[in-house]
């Protein structure tokens, strides 16, 4: 009675919550270091916390179903009308909406090996076929992804930077790819450009992807407030696309998908340039600390453009367990086809040091 394609889904493996580890190993939650879900170690911006508390004064009413105030901030920032913006319950929601609107049994989606796990889940949940294109190194092979498009392809997912690998395709490559896909397939193939980690890019690598949204009517750019903006627990993301696609996403969207607290906090966070700068700088320094530590431990790692690093530790499940016993939560990525690797989120300087200390001990005496 249940469709085979639903039975075939392997559920998403989230980072272990602190409380769960504390219960399992009898540890003090206060001493646990969680570097498992690419969250912002600075916490939420104080400005957003205040806005959220203010908005909490009346939660008896439904949220604004169209997120007018939040969309106004985004519309101004990107210089687009509101009907180019879709709000999501995290950017995850937007990936699901694209799949819901565009995929059905008999169609397929294309994405890269080691790409963000939700592309597979969202595709499978629609009973569509997924075409996984072998990675080039650990990054996307855009030429091969283009070549993999079939007459049934309706969606193509590109994560830039990608999670869990942290790889990044420069602007020229993405631009050439978008041009090629659009020129060959037009609106028949929609490209979702997932930029969850874009705020962590060094300034010289950043680019204004909204220019591409203006140029290509088959493009959806997604971003999130979960990472650099520190609002993962509130669940808010947004997508930019031309009105035709925005309209499709809105047809399948839950009317109140972004709650009142999330809308208020997001408005404040988006205006908090100081917090964003601090998050970027701390992440950059922490990434260097981890890179240096991995180099001195002779561990292979993938240079990362996000707020996490993928490191090859060998028996990742044993190393992960030993780290858990020491109160350190990182992320095994065997489910992503990387059984020898762990993904480690950049934390506060103190958390990075505790992780490095624990990893050094574990590797010396497994």
By CB under 6 A, name the binding residues for ligand PMP: 38, 90-92, 116, 159, 163, 194, 196, 224, 226, 232, 237
Q: By C-beta, is 159 or 220 nearer to ligand PMP?
A: 159
Taking the complex as a whole, the smallest distance from the CB of residue 247 to ligand PMP amounts, in Å, to: 22
Taking the complex as a whole, the smallest distance from the CB of residue 29 to ligand PMP amounts, in Å, to: 22
Taking the complex as a whole, the smallest distance from the CB of residue 65 to ligand PMP amounts, in Å, to: 20
Tokens 């270091």 belong to which residue?
A: 33
49 exposed, middle or buried (CB, 10 Å; 0-12, 13-18, 19+)?
middle
Q: By C-beta, is 18 or 94 nearer to ligand PMP?
A: 94
Q: By C-beta, is 38 or 246 nearer to ligand PMP?
A: 38
Instruction: Please name which of 139, 131, 142 lies closest in space to residue 103, comparing C-alpha atoms.
Output: 131
Report the residue closest to ligand PMP, judged by CB. 90
- Say if residues 225 and 87 touch (Cβ distance below 8 Å): no
Q: By C-beta, is 209 or 362 nearer to ligand PMP?
A: 209
Taking the complex as a whole, the smallest distance from the CB of residue 116 to ligand PMP amounts, in Å, to: 4
Crossing angle of helices 349-364 and 273-296, rounded to 10°: 20
Taking the complex as a whole, the smallest distance from the CB of residue 323 to ligand PMP amounts, in Å, to: 20
Taking the complex as a whole, the smallest distance from the CB of residue 230 to ligand PMP amounts, in Å, to: 11
Taking the complex as a whole, the smallest distance from the CB of residue 197 to ligand PMP amounts, in Å, to: 7
- Say if residues 23 and 328 touch (Cβ distance below 8 Å): no
Whole-angstrom distance, CA of residue 333 vs CA of residue 164: 8
Whole-angstrom distance, CA of residue 166 vs CA of residue 267: 28
Instruction: Please name which of 91, 84, 82 lies closest in space to residue 238, comparing C-alpha atoms.
Output: 91
Taking the complex as a whole, the smallest distance from the CB of residue 122 to ligand PMP amounts, in Å, to: 11
Q: By C-beta, is 22 or 232 nearer to ligand PMP?
A: 232
Q: By C-beta, is 212 or 293 nearer to ligand PMP?
A: 212
Whole-angstrom distance, CA of residue 109 vs CA of residue 26: 44
Positive or negative, the Cα torsion across 20, 283, 199, 161? negative
Helix (H, G, I), strand (E, B) or coil at 100: helix
Taking the complex as a whole, the smallest distance from the CB of residue 151 to ligand PMP amounts, in Å, to: 28
- Say if residues 96 and 119 touch (Cβ distance below 8 Å): no
Q: By C-beta, is 189 or 236 nearer to ligand PMP?
A: 236
Whole-angstrom distance, CA of residue 98 vs CA of residue 111: 14
Q: By C-beta, is 234 or 354 nearer to ligand PMP?
A: 234
Q: By C-beta, is 37 or 320 nearer to ligand PMP?
A: 37
Going by their DSSP bridges, the two strands 341-345 and 308-312 should be labelled as antiparallel
Q: By C-beta, is 124 or 226 nearer to ligand PMP?
A: 226
Taking the complex as a whole, the smallest distance from the CB of residue 239 to ligand PMP amounts, in Å, to: 11
- Say if residues 165 and 139 touch (Cβ distance below 8 Å): yes
CA distances for 232 relative to 181, 215, 229, 249, angstroms: 32, 31, 8, 22
Going by their DSSP bridges, the two strands 328-329 and 153-159 should be labelled as unpaired
DSSP string for residues in 178-238: HHHHHHHHGGGSEEEEE-TTGGGS-GGG---THHHHHH-TTEEEEEESSSTT--TTT--EE
């Amino acid at each position: 009675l249940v469709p085979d394609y639903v039975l075939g889904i392997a559920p998403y493996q989230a980072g272990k919550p602190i409380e769960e580890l504390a219960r399992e190993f009898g540890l003090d939650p206060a001493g646990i270091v969680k570097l498992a879900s690419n969250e912002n170690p600075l916490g939420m911006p104080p400005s957003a916390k205040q806005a959220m508390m203010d908005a909490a004064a009346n939660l008896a009413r439904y949220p604004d179903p169209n997120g007018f105030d939040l969309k106004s901030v985004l519309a101004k920032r990107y210089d687009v009308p509101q009907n180019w913006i879709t709000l999501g319950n995290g950017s995850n929601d937007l990936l699901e909406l694209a799949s819901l609107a565009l995929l059905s049994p008999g169609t397929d989606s294309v994405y890269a090996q080691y790409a963000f796990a939700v592309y597979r889940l969202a595709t499978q949940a629609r009973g569509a076929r997924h075409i996984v294109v072998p990675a080039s190194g650990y990054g996307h092979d855009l030429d091969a992804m283009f070549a993999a498009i079939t007459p049934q392809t309706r969606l193509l997912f590109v994560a830039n930077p990608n999670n869990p690998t942290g790889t990044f395709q420069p602007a020229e490559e993405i631009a050439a790819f978008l041009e090629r896909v659009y020129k060959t397939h037009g609106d028949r193939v929609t490209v979702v450009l997932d930029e969850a980690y874009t705020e962590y890019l060094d300034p010289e690598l950043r680019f204004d992807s909204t220019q591409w949204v203006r140029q290509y009517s088959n493009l959806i750019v997604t971003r999130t407030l979960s990472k650099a903006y520190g609002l993962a627990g509130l669940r808010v993301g947004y997508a930019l696309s031309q009105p035709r696609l925005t309209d499709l996403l809105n047809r399948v969207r839950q009317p109140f998908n972004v709650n009142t607290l999330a809308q208020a906090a997001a408005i404040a966070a988006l205006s908090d340039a100081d917090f964003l700068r601090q998050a970027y700088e701390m992440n950059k320094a922490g990434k260097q600390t981890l890179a240096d530590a991995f180099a001195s431990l002779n561990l292979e790692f993938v240079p990362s453009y996000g707020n996490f690093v993928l490191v090859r530790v060998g028996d990742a499940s044993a190393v992960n367990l030993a780290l858990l016993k020491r109160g350190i939560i990182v992320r095994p990525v065997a489910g992503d086809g990387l059984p020898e690797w762990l993904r480690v989120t950049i934390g506060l300087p103190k958390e990075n040091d505790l992780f490095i200390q624990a990893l050094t001990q574990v590797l010396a005496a497994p």
